[in-house]
Amino acid sequence: MNLFVYRVGGTNMKKKIFFYACFLLIGCFIGINITKFKSRYVDVPEEEKGLYIKYGEQFPIETFNTLGKKKNQKNDNIPLYRIWLYIDPNCESCIEKFPVVERLTEIMQEENIEIDILWRQEPKKTLVDTLDISKNKQYRTGSIKVLNEYPTYFITDEDNRVQMVSDDIDKIVKKVLSLDGIEKMK
């Protein structure tokens, strides 16, 4: 009698092993196909997820939304260079840099250099109004996701080509002073 139970138990064990092996193979097959499907239809290349702005590239100003009224871009009114500050309104260290940026705006106006702010997301109206920088010089990224860290400074030329990217305002000022067409401050 024990022999019979052992045989029946052995047959059941073989069935269980066969069942688990089939289940494992089916699982692997489904997993491989899901991975292929995901890589083809779900995963988006990094370039399509957002924008990473680098040296020499065109700065995509036309894709950003201005917080003020739309300006009529006249060819005679284009600044020689622009310094862009890319910040998040919830970043306290970014907000602490505003006095420096406001002072830099005053100094650079004489040199035909414009200071613009690019907000990572919509800032509070009270924050925008407290700044001594025109709303026409403040932009938000809108649906475009900029992948650069913040705060980040960009220098662009009159053709909106990125001349420098840095998180250090001192490096930005030194670079601006070395650019062509800028009188050296005494």
CATH of the domain at 123: 3.40.30.10
Average pLDDT over residues 131-155: 83
Per the structure, the count of domains in the chain is 2
Please check whether residues 127 and 66 belong to one and the same domain: yes
The structure tokens listed for 186 are 């005494």
Residues 6+ apart with CB under 8 A from 122: 89, 140
Cβ density class 138-155: b for 16+ within 10 Å, e for less: bbbbeeeebebebbbbbb
Q: What pTM was estimated for this model as a whole?
A: 0.66
Please check whether residues 101 and 150 belong to one and the same domain: yes
Could you tell me if residue 66 is inside a domain? yes
Torsional class of 64: left (φ above 0), alpha (ψ -120 to 50), beta (otherwise): beta
Residue 176 has pLDDT above 80, yes or no: yes
Return the DSSP state at 136. G
Of the pLDDT bands very low, low, confident and very high (cuts 50, 70, 90), residue 120 is: confident
Could you tell me if residue 186 is inside a domain? no
Please check whether residues 151 and 113 belong to one and the same domain: yes
Residue 35 has pLDDT above 70, yes or no: no
Of the pLDDT bands very low, low, confident and very high (cuts 50, 70, 90), residue 128 is: confident
Could you tell me if residue 154 is inside a domain? yes
Could you tell me if residue 172 is inside a domain? yes
The confidence score (pLDDT) of residue 76 equals: 56
Residue 1 has pLDDT above 50, yes or no: no
By residue range, what is the domain housing residue 142?
50-178
Average pLDDT over residues 65-73: 68
Q: Are 175 and 70 in contact (CB under 8 A)?
A: no
Please check whether residues 15 and 32 belong to one and the same domain: yes
Please check whether residues 156 and 68 belong to one and the same domain: yes
Residue 48 has pLDDT above 60, yes or no: no
Please check whether residues 74 and 133 belong to one and the same domain: yes
Let me know if 113 is exposed, middle or buried by CB neighbors in 10 A (0-12, 13-18, 19+). Answer: buried
